[in-house]
């Protein structure tokens, strides 16, 4: 029997993939059961089509937790898309080093490095949403359709818009604290399966048993 989560395509169609099983870039880390759906392009080409300006010279990481849902066209934009604001010009001279007699060792001076993108567990990223460099998104958050996320998103918070702003919290603080402590996404398959009725119906007390 195939171990749950170890296949590429979790359904009969080829529009959704378990990302962990198609990622090759050593600087991209994806947790179990996280899936990407794409009905326009090949979802197995997520690294090429959705993770942008992610060049090895920057040593940046994209970390995505378990049980995340990533909708068609969502993008993760890294540091090299930036043009440094320290310069008096917006033109990225260092990336055309040979044209200007500059040292290639300083190519990263062309942009401001804002660091890794970290996505928690059980995060839902909507259609064509854009996650910018350096952003951290907490567990259970929801990113609205075509939102542009430029700042960190707290756990279990719904954001939307350009730039993305908080719309509301998903649950009260006590429920959020309990879910953060339970970390059900780290449970073994059998335990999660047993508690699916509790998870799917919002039965927090049942989840705690």
Residue 182: predicted pLDDT: 98
Residue pair 51/25 in contact by the 8 Å Cβ criterion: yes
Q: What is the mean pLDDT of residues 34-53?
A: 97
- Decide: helix, strand or coil at residue 71: coil
Q: So what's the pLDDT on residue 2?
A: 56
* CA–CA separation, 123 and 36 (whole Å): 12
Task: Tell me the torsion sign for CA atoms 169, 175, 177, 182.
Answer: negative
**Better-scored residue on pLDDT, 164 or 106:** 164
Q: Which is nearest to 144 in space by CA: 163, 120, 117?
A: 163
Set out the domains of the chain in order of their start, with CATH numbers. Answer: 16-83+112-170 (2.160.10.10), 172-209 (no CATH)
What local confidence, expressed as pLDDT, does residue 166 receive? 98
* pLDDT over threshold 60, residue 12: yes
Cα–Cα distance, 151 to 70 (Å, whole number): 19
Q: Which residues pair with 142 in a beta bridge?
A: 124, 158
* Set 14, 59, 83, 136: catalytic member: 83
Residue 71 has pLDDT above 60, yes or no: yes
Residue 74 has which token pair? 């969502």
* Helix runs in 65-127, H state only: 97-100
Pair 108, 57: CB distance under 8 Å: yes
N-term to C-term CA, the chain: 29
Query: Positive or negative, the Cα torsion across 177, 65, 119, 131?
Result: negative
- Which of 164, 135, 124 has its CA nearest to residue 62? 135
Active site residue 83: yes
Contact 100, 117 (CB under 8 A): no
pLDDT at 1: 45
Dihedral (C-alpha) 195, 198, 203, 204: value to the nearest 10 degrees? 30
pLDDT digits (tens, 9 = 90+) for 113-151: 889 999 999 999 999 999 999 999 999 999 999 999 999
What does the mean pLDDT of the chain come to?
A: 95
Q: Tell me: the pLDDT tens digits for 170-203?
A: 999 999 999 999 999 999 999 999 999 999 999 9
Query: Which residue has better confidence, 104 or 119?
Result: 119
Please tell me the pTM assigned to this model: 0.94
């Amino acid at each position: 029997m195939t171990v749950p989560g170890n296949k590429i395509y979790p359904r009969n169609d080829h529009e959704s993939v378990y990302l962990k099983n198609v990622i090759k870039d050593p600087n991209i880390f994806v947790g179990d059961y996280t899936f990407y759906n794409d009905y326009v392009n090949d979802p197995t080409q997520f690294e090429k089509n959705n993770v942008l300006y992610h060049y090895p010279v920057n040593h940046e990481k994209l970390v995505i937790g378990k049980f995340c849902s990533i909708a068609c066209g969502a993008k993760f934009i890294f540091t090299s898309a930036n043009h440094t604001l320290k310069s008096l010009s917006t033109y990225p001279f260092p990336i055309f080093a040979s044209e200007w007699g500059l040292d290639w060792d300083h190519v990263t001076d062309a942009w401001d490095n804002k660091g890794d993108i970290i996505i928690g567990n059980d995060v839902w990223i909507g259609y064509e949403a854009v996650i910018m460099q350096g952003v951290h998104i907490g567990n259970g958050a929801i990113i609205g359709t075509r939102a542009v996320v430029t700042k960190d998103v707290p756990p279990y918070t719904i954001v939307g818009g350009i730039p993305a702003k908080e719309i509301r919290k998903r649950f009260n603080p006590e429920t959020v604290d309990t879910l953060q402590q339970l970390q059900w996404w780290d449970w073994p398959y059998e335990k999660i399966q047993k508690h699916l009725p509790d998870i799917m119906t919002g039965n927090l007390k049942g989840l705690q048993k």
